């Protein structure tokens, strides 16, 4: 069976997922496109998938009987209604992060999906599909004993003036919030944010770097350095310290060069390259599950927990206090992986 | 357009390529299967592609008007006739190595393709599609100046008793013979083989390790260690020394672990894992070109040169001498890439 | 001039420094020994330096006109009086850490030395003499811009039952307290201690691991993981994140081995090996300065600051609070390096 | 006992050894100096050791009853007569390489020492004292089984016009010739030299790079790349491949820096820094043995074997042939280590 996919939102990521489905992956094809700017949708249609239908209204795309499954790649504020519409239609839906712009919105999606009684939503936390994190999870599960601490870093070469202090949580830490829960099979109970001296390469609206301290239910202590004007590259670090040993996320593959009195590897500078392969894998997972009428991978619940945790981290940024995090009981629908 | 593919030979690699085309890659589907053991073909049909037709005779598969392009995955001795049949039918054909079991056979394929006037054949030298080698080629082309030397190694954990001394060339070195020509954009002019003390882990019919010394037209000196009972893992090393610097093939990605008084990375032990991603990429390249009615990547000419070079290396094994290698003029058909 | 040295305390470290002065280093010889157990002093005399005089009372050793300079290697509680005696005698004195068991005691030494008007005391903070830390300081001073954060770890394979929670500060963190001030040319303004889940390899009296968070005057944020039952080895990590780049303390030199399906380096398990070369260098520095009648390197002031900082860290362990650290004005005597 | 040392030749290395004995090492002092240019000797006397006596004739220095042991640091052609004079006087003598400028000269020294009946000569092959090579030897002896192959490289950033093709053997490979014999506990039986394309950074009188292939009695095959205008730094590589695993000489300790889109370590560019610590260790070994009236470490025999092997390598450079190497029986005096 070939899964017929409708793509909502044809900006950079929507266009890229369309290309992926049409030209790279087996098992699906894009049959419908929509965008708040219909000309944008038509441009993607013309360039990548002439046989697709362009819908003026995304609600109609979701409802179309030509569409088996939906990709939500539109602007964040529209994610909630489109995901709810897909659930209402009983169609698998892949939603780029954030699942919703508020925890309450994410909660509404969780409730709708629980009421429907089957998983339909996959959230675009692509790091869970990265080969390095998958190798790390395998080692954490089998080699290093109970995890005790995590030392992580999320560094960008630079960010524009529009990137303000809370975005360090919502746009940057959000990835660690999800992937560390998954790596540790654990949840957060508190957050604290500490501000080092500001780099001279930051701007007025951004305290950069930041150090986020998280504590989990099982007692793991996590420190994540967020440093988005680090100058030297895009660099993701993750070290898990366990009772029996210590494991590190691999560096991206690079050529070791001896030249100019240096032993040197090029570092990535563009974040888009770092997890590019994982987009293929996450969508392949979505397609395979959608062919069975369901969804796997990062769930609505994961999106909801990420929203609650982010809110606590932003409160910790503002208050300077240790902010407790508490979650409602997880619905049984989300008990499997 | 979806390329309709016929697969000849449904052993391990034929089955795997079938799975790849059906379940992983976009743009093609398997419509026909054959094997000298028709039951084997039917087993793959049943497990992976029920809608495909099983042909008793591979010649009929090649000729079928349901088949746009052919994969030759049968035993080595049958490659030449099937590839010649595909060329006669004007169909793109992907042929696992070797292209032919003799240089004369490979030459016949080259002549047929030249007579046809368009490239139709891609040989399964998958290393050219490996991400590490591609990064290395990019660095060799831009960063290290003119190449002067190559230090390479091809090590296997162990080989069975059936692996005899000449197989170190035909089955093992063959990959370096092709990929180093491609990396250096060069050809070989002589070969010498030197035999170190034999490891106690070898057997009577195999001189292991061996050191092969190759010289190229441009004067590059290459040494390749072949050590197929090295005990510790499957390990491919390649270092290019240029006038301005030196570059190394990356190690496969691995988790660095601190445990048991060791800083340690697991090494691969199974050769099948080492280049597994490159099979996807080489077939995607084949499918894309086949959709245009042609072939790209490693050519018949590359297969022919590999055959001539292998023969010289085996002669060097036997004689202990420096054996000259000479090639006829390359047909213009193969001038691009 | 050959510096004539008296060694107080002939336990493991006193014996080792005696061997070092006699058999390794130029410029000094041991002429006097004392120990609270005179038999121990005589054993060292017999084994290493028969020509030395054994004193019953260490005060007499300090006062002897045969002695130009003093090494205090006795038990911690006795350091203060012996150092004060050496200052009173105007003799250079090398004192193993701690300089005194209380900040008040260290302060008395600082005052005595300031009153004397010339530096006479070197404290045994050997890491400042380690080749790796020296290379790191050079890079921090010239390559990475203003330091913003430090991520450090101090891990031991295991500790005995006698090692209790506060010793993580007094015996373990004490080295980072000194060496990070020196690396950063900075002082601490607050301390916080966070306790992850306890490793199952710890014992009742020890919360292990611990995470110590320090803040400096210049705004640098430091996190130091202390994990003294980490099982895998003795491991000292130090990463400095600056405005322009990031630098790491080198790993100790080790042979990279490919064996048993692992790419592996042996890790140190015995802390005594980690900084063994730096003991030679620190004593050479002491001897060279003593020949000029003075002292260089880690000073009384550094010992005093370490004592105050340690006290704050222990208070932070006990209270769970962020504990402020304030220092009196540094006497001008200590303004140079 | 303090060993009283006479230094012959007060150029760069003689001055440096004088400083080492006076200011760094325990157990010896320089009491006599000589140089073919007496003003040079007097300059070293004035700068480093005013109490030493300057001899007009080095023969008188050797004969002086104030001198217990001799360092020969003069120009190569004078080594043989001074070493023979020291043997005649029964005095331990440390001789910088080469032991003699011809194999016949080295043989005369061996015979004189054998006739004397006790080891008196240490040759300045300092790599045996390098911490990295010592760690490598320990691993080769215990971890990797029987050695089968060695892959080595000796690279310099650049050399002056005066450096001609044979110097690649006499001045460069000479270190590998000695240290590989010692690492493998083996001797050479043949040599071959292969010339890759010449780097554009070489000059008319120098074929650069070169690849030297050595074979040992035990059947080990060694390849050593010599590349003395490699541009990027001074780089010494050594990999030993054994029946059970593979070990590498460690890289010199360096700070890993993330900066300018590079993960980078500085490489050494000045060969004098690479083995600087090993000079201290080799002289400490000489002093300790000289105090007992004998010598240890690299022997006259080792110097003689290095001379014979070098001659064969130069012949291999000139002839392009595989040149056999044969040695007389080793005198029993040299049977220990
Ligand atoms: Mg995504
Ligand atoms: Mg293939
Ligand atoms: Mg000390
Ligand atoms: Mg030397």
Which of B197, B232, B243 comes nearest D219 by C-beta? Answer: B197
Residues of chain C whose C-beta is under 8 A from some C-beta in B? 157, 231-233, 235, 251, 254, 258-267, 269
The whole-angstrom separation of Cα C119 and Cα C88 is 12
Give residue-wise pLDDT tens across range A36-52.
Answer: 999 999 999 999 999 99
Give residue-wise pLDDT tens across range D237-294.
Answer: 999 999 999 999 999 999 999 999 999 999 999 998 999 999 999 999 999 999 999 9
- D-chain CB neighbours of C259 within 8 Å are 143-144, 244-246
Contact A157, B276 (CB under 8 A): no
b/e per residue D266-295 (b: at least 16 CB within 10 A): bbbbebeebbebbbbbbbbbbbbbbbeeeb
Q: Above 90 in pLDDT, residue A60?
A: yes
Give residue-wise pLDDT tens across range A198-243.
Answer: 999 999 999 999 999 999 999 999 999 999 999 999 999 999 999 9
Q: Above 70 in pLDDT, residue A282?
A: yes
- Which ligand minimizes its atom distance to the CA of D272? 4
Q: Per DSSP, what are the bridge partners of residue D48?
A: none
- D-chain CB neighbours of C244 within 8 Å are 259
- D-chain CB neighbours of C253 within 8 Å are 131-132, 135, 250, 253
Which of C24, C26, C144 comes nearest D23 by C-beta? Answer: C26
b/e per residue B90-113 (b: at least 16 CB within 10 A): ebbbbbbbbbbbebebbbbbbebb
Residue from B139, B144, B149, B234 to probe the interface with D (highest D Cβ count within 10 Å) = B149
The whole-angstrom separation of Cα D100 and Cα D213 is 24
Q: Per DSSP, what are the bridge partners of residue D69?
A: D5
Give residue-wise pLDDT tens across range B90-127.
Answer: 999 999 999 999 999 999 999 999 999 999 999 999 99
- C-chain CB neighbours of A223 within 8 Å are 151, 211, 223
Residue from C153, C243, C321 to probe the interface with A (highest A Cβ count within 10 Å) = C243
Which of B232, B259, B263 comes nearest C258 by C-beta? Answer: B232
The whole-angstrom separation of Cα B218 and Cα B187 is 8
Q: How many Cβ pairs closer than 8 A exist between chain A and B?
A: 84
- Residue B61 DSSP one-character state: H
Mean pLDDT of chain A: 97
Tokens linked to C208: 């292990």
- CB contact set of A155 (below 8 Å; sequence gap of 6+): A225, A226, A227, A228, A230, A232, A233, A234, A235, A236, A237
Q: What is the DSSP string of D96-159?
A: PSPS-SSHHHHHHHHHHHHHHTS--EEE--GGGG-HHHHHHHHHHHHTS-SEEEEEEEEE-S--
The whole-angstrom separation of Cα C122 and Cα C17 is 14
Q: How many Cβ pairs closer than 8 A exist between chain B and C?
A: 51
| Environment of ion ligand 2 (residues, CB < 5 A) | B 124, 126
Q: Which chains touch D (3 or more CB pairs under 8 A)?
A: A, B, C
Contact yes or no for B265 and C267 at CB 8 A: no
Say what the pLDDT of residue D337 is: 53
b/e per residue A7-20 (b: at least 16 CB within 10 A): bbbbeebbbbbbbb
Say what the pLDDT of residue A303 is: 98
Alpha-carbon dihedral D261, D264, D269, D272, rounded to 10 degrees: 160
Ligand 3 centroid to residue B65 C-alpha, Å: 84
ipTM: 0.95
Q: Above 60 in pLDDT, residue B141?
A: yes
Which of B25, B131, B135 comes nearest A26 by C-beta? Answer: B25
The whole-angstrom separation of Cα D6 and Cα B79 is 78
The whole-angstrom separation of Cα D320 and Cα D337 is 34
Average pLDDT over residues D191-219: 98
Residues of chain A whose C-beta is under 8 A from some C-beta in D? 157, 231-233, 235, 251, 254, 258-267, 269
The whole-angstrom separation of Cα B97 and Cα D188 is 40
Report chain D's terminal Cα–Cα distance, integer Å. Answer: 26
The whole-angstrom separation of Cα D84 and Cα A138 is 67
- CB contact set of B309 (below 8 Å; sequence gap of 6+): B177, B188, B191, B214, B325
Tokens linked to B191: 């070969």
Q: How confident is the model at residue B337 (pLDDT cuts 50, 70, 90)?
A: low
Tell me phi and psi for residue A224, to 5 degrees. -125, 115
Q: Per DSSP, what are the bridge partners of residue A223?
A: A151, A213
Angle (CA) C190-C193-C198 rounded to 5° is 170
Contact yes or no for D253 and C250 at CB 8 A: yes
- B-chain CB neighbours of A246 within 8 Å are 257-259
Examine residue B98 and say whether the peptide bond preceding it is cis (omega within 30 degrees of 0): yes
Ranges of residues in chain C whose predicted pLDDT is under 70: 337
Ligand 1 centroid to residue A275 C-alpha, Å: 9
- Residue D38: CB atoms within 10 A of its CB come to 16
Say what the pLDDT of residue D336 is: 72
- A-chain CB neighbours of B259 within 8 Å are 143-144, 244-246
| Number of helical H runs and strand E runs in chain A | 11, 15
Average pLDDT over residues B318-324: 97
Q: Above 90 in pLDDT, residue D18?
A: yes
Contact D224, D211 (CB under 8 A): yes
- Which ligand minimizes its atom distance to the CA of D297? 4
Give chain D's domains with CATH numbers: 3-127+277-305 (3.40.50.720), 131-271 (3.30.360.10)
Give residue-wise pLDDT tens across range A238-270.
Answer: 999 999 999 999 999 999 999 999 999 999 999
The residue in chain B having the minimum alpha-carbon distance to the alpha carbon of residue D223 is B223
Q: How confident is the model at residue B77 (pLDDT cuts 50, 70, 90)?
A: very high
Q: Above 80 in pLDDT, residue B20?
A: yes
Closest CA to A177 of A229, A119, A106: A106
Residues of chain C whose C-beta is under 8 A from some C-beta in D? 21-27, 131-132, 135-136, 139, 143-144, 244-250, 253-260, 284
Q: Mapping DSSP to helix (H, G, I), strand (E, B) and coil, where does residue C289 land?
A: helix
- CB contact set of B111 (below 8 Å; sequence gap of 6+): none
Tell me phi and psi for residue D262, to 5 degrees. -135, 135
Which of A232, A251, A259 comes nearest D260 by C-beta? Answer: A232
Contact A223, A212 (CB under 8 A): yes
Give residue-wise pLDDT tens across range C235-251.
Answer: 999 999 999 999 999 99
Contact yes or no for B220 and D199 at CB 8 A: no
Q: Mapping DSSP to helix (H, G, I), strand (E, B) and coil, where does residue C176 land?
A: helix
The sheet with strand B69-72 has its strands ordered as B53-55, B28-34, B3-8, B69-72, B93-95, B121-123
The alpha carbon of residue D201 is apart from the nearest alpha carbon of chain A, in Å, by 14
Q: Using alpha carbons only, how large is chain B's radius of gyration in Å?
A: 20
Contact B293, B92 (CB under 8 A): yes
- Residue A289 DSSP one-character state: H
The whole-angstrom separation of Cα C305 and Cα C326 is 10
């Amino acid at each position: 069976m070939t899964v017929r996919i409708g793509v909502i939102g044809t900006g950079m990521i929507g266009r890229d997922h369309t290309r992926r489905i049409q030209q790279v992956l087996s098992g699906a094809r894009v049959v419908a496109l929509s965008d708040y700017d219909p000309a944008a949708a038509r441009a993607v249609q013309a360039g990548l998938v002439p046989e697709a239908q362009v819908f003026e209204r995304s609600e109609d795309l979701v409802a179309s009987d030509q569409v088996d499954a939906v990709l939500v790649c539109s602007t964040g504020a529209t994610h909630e209604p489109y995901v709810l519409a897909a659930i209402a239609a009983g169609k698998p839906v892949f939603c780029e992060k954030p699942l919703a712009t508020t925890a309450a919105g994410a909660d509404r999606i969780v409730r709708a999906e629980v009421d429907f009684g089957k998983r339909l939503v996959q959230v675009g936390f692509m790091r869970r599909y990265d080969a390095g994190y998958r190798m790390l999870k395998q080692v954490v599960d089998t080699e290093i004993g109970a995890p005790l601490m995590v030392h992580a870093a999320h560094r960008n070469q630079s960010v524009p003036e529009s990137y303000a202090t809370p975005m360090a949580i919502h746009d940057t830490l959000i990835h660690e919030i999800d992937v560390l829960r998954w790596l540790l099979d654990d949840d957060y109970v508190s957050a604290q944010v500490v501000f080092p001296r500001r780099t001279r390469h930051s701007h007025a609206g951004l305290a950069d770097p930041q150090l986020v301290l998280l504590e989990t239910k099982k007692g793991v202590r996590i420190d994540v350095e967020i440093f988005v004007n680090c100058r030297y590259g895009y660099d993701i670090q993750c070290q898990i310290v366990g009772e029996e040993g210590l494991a590190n996320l691999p560096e991206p593959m690079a050529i070791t060069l001896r030249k100019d009195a240096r032993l040197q590897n090029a570092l990535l500078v563009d974040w888009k390259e770092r997890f590019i392969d994982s987009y293929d894998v996450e969508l392949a997972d979505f397609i395979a599950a959608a062919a069975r009428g369901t969804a796997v991978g990062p769930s609505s619940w994961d999106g909801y927990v990420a929203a609650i945790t982010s809110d606590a981290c932003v409160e910790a940024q503002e208050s300077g206090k240790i902010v407790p995090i508490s979650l409602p009981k997880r619905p049984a629908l989300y008990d499997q992986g």
